[in-house]
Structure 1
Amino acid sequence: MENLEKIDLFNFDLEIGKQKAYLPLFYQVFGKPLGSAPVVVVNHSLTGNSNVTGEKGWWSGIVGPNRAVDTDYFTVIAFNIPGNGFDDNGENLIDNYRDYSTRDIARIFWEGLFFLKVQNVYAVIGGSLGGAIAWEMAALQPDKIDNLIPIASDWKATDWVIANVLIQDQILNHSDDPIVDARLHATLLYRTPEYVNQRFKRSKLDELSVLQIENWLLDHGFKLKSRYRLAAYKLMNHLLKTIDITRNRPDFLTVANAIEANIHLITVDTDYLFIADETRKTYRELTNKKQNVFYHQIQSIHGHDAYLIEFNQLSDILKPIFNLHKEQRYVSA
């Protein structure tokens, strides 16, 4: 947790009408110092955190020196969703998780940016839940983002997403080993049958008939349990259900049309959580109203988690977006 910083937020009004007297917002800054370079905000996913690059960075293949999001050129800010437990003592947890929404998190992130005197950002990028929060950030401040880049994500929770959130919530609240058991189910959502079948081929781990697939799934469950808190899992899972930039607003096209950012929709062809067909529908709708909308697709056997695996493909998509600012700077110089 090197260079982990904190902003104290007071009297924050939640979307449901309740007020939080105090919210600690933890964050990390990478690359160029604040105020000296264009800002990129990276939003983490369900089990992620602000440690996006470096030795233990979960997205070091994308963010870092000479990477697609080049920390030799950009200032990268990554906030922790309050309640994810990634803080000084691991106690930044939230019990009343159903009080919160992705819109609340987006508003909290803007509060953090304004506190840091950041009024405009070159890009807001995030995968899965992080991409949904990026959508909300753009809807809240439609003129303050140059590039909106949601990856393996959506502006809404489909019935399919909501159904899986319910299953996860039931497991998390009723299982004897909730984190492990919920992770077993979630891991299969994040991958594909083709990947699982191709990798394990019904093979056994040992003569005791322990199957490789069972061992792999349980290993994912126990690893998450060793580093993640139950309250954090409940909150993050719940936030997926609340994704909807049209809630208490006009229709999608009206909301999206107000967003001035270039919108880069990046999907995974085999995503079983935020399915690619929904993103293609969004793209078709948006192109009827806006010119600065772009569709990109990662092809992968890995499914939803491909944005954490297919770094070469994702880098090829992202580099032109981020290199554009460098090229414009050199031209103007």
Structure 2
Amino acid sequence: MPRGEVTQQAAIGNLTLESGEVLPDVTLAYETWGEYDGSNAVLILHALTGDTRVTGEGGWWSQVVGPGLGIDTDRFFVVAANILGGCRGSTGPTTPAPDGARWGTRFPSVTVRDQVAAEVAFSDALGVDTWYGVIGGSAGGMRALEWAIEHPERVERLFLLATCAAASADQIALSATQNDIIRAAGPVAGLDLARRIAHISYRSETEFAERFGRLVQDDGRFAVESYLQHHGDKLVKRFDADSYIVLSDAMNSHDVGRGRGGVHAALGRIQAETVVAGIDSDRLYPLYQQLELADGIPGCEALDIVKSPYGHDGFLIEADQVGDLARRLLA
């Protein structure tokens, strides 16, 4: 079983999508930490623009995952796979199509269920039949939820953070508008602007008011304006605009009740011991969505609420609270 913090790639072969189209020669990038003993594997599923860099300097959950932390790499074999359709080593718009040229805008539409199907094939290739824990926030939570519904026998414990059973009209509206901006303004300016819009929804009005107010910088820009421009520029330098569109559309496809008799029936299929957590200041994935999950999943006792001024991004920032919840679930 591979071990290390170096990004690796797993070839999982052809993947038949929900649309019926066959995506050839699919590869998923991944990283692992710890030693596998046959029963201690934990799968971490990243959000929209995340990647496999979970731990260490620059890792998006470096204070949650690691030796002695909430997700303890001294105890667990922790796996983080890059999402199908992404641009950080897995098959997606930036990788070669069968004709040798980059897929780009030709990359087929994929759903959250397609992405989980790829992760299931990846798990098989890795030799993990059952996950001791499957953990995800936001878009990662969508996939974690699909894992536990479609493959309940393979998920023993489930941790869902700041996510939902089905993408809401509000979430679809924000996401679709961002994609249209990218298409209209081009991959650089469009992705920059899309990220600014997204980042507003990721944080809270209270944080913006207290942190920036109406402060004007020496260059004449409002401080909050400069802040959003900075985050737009950062994403353009590390992410692909076509992948952003593919992944956003996949998130908009999310509805666990589709073809399963509705959300309640789908949630009732989950067998895993479950923790569902929401962020009290989250305006993108409001608490009523996590309450629906907590009420509908048989193995969840109650909704846990993470207190944070940071809005949706609280699932990334509030490491102490999130780590405590993970430790409780994985005990």
Aligned-partner Cα distance in 2 for 1:146–1:88: 26
Question: How many residue pairs were aligned?
Answer: 318
Q: How does 1:208-227 map to 2 (within 5 A)?
A: 208-227=219-238
Aligned-partner Cα distance in 2 for 1:94–1:79: 21
In structure 1, give the amino acid aligned to 2:306: I
Q: Secondary structure at the match of 1:100?
A: coil
Give yes or no for the alignment of 1:126 onto 2:128. Answer: no
Aligned-partner Cα distance in 2 for 1:89–1:131: 21
Q: Secondary structure at the match of 2:143?
A: helix
Residue pair 2:257, 2:265 contacting (<8 A) in 1 also? no
Q: Secondary structure at the match of 1:56?
A: coil
Aligned-partner Cα distance in 1 for 2:293–2:90: 40
The one of 309, 312, 318 equivalent to 1:310 is 318
Aligned-partner Cα distance in 2 for 1:44–1:36: 23
Specify whether residues 2 and 314 from structure 1 end up closer, same or farther in structure 2 by C-alpha distance, changes over 3 A only. Answer: closer
Specify whether residues 20 and 167 from structure 1 end up closer, same or farther in structure 2 by C-alpha distance, changes over 3 A only. Answer: same
In structure 1, give the amino acid aligned to 2:24: A
Residue pair 1:42, 1:78 contacting (<8 A) in 2 also? yes
RMSD: 2.0
Q: Secondary structure at the match of 1:149?
A: strand
Aligned-partner Cα distance in 2 for 1:252–1:145: 19
Partner of 1:328: none
Partner of 1:158: 168
Residue pair 2:159, 2:326 contacting (<8 A) in 1 also? no
- Which stretch has the larger CA shift, 244-253 or 21-30? 244-253
The one of 62, 66, 69 equivalent to 2:68 is 66
Aligned-partner Cα distance in 1 for 2:104–2:133: 29
The one of 184, 190, 196 equivalent to 1:178 is 190
The one of 227, 239, 252 equivalent to 1:241 is 252
In structure 1, give the amino acid aligned to 2:121: E
Structure 1 residue ranges without an equivalent (≥5): 325-333
The one of 53, 56, 62 equivalent to 2:55 is 53
Residue pair 2:44, 2:80 contacting (<8 A) in 1 also? yes
Normalising by structure 1, we get a TM-score of 0.90
Q: How does 1:313-332 map to 2 (within 5 A)?
A: 313-322=321-330, 324=331
Partner of 2:295: 284
Aligned-partner Cα distance in 2 for 1:181–1:51: 25
Residue pair 2:202, 2:284 contacting (<8 A) in 1 also? yes
Percent identity of equivalent pairs: 29
Structure 2 residue ranges without an equivalent (≥5): 96-102
Q: Secondary structure at the match of 1:42?
A: strand
CA shift for structure 1 position 250: 1.9
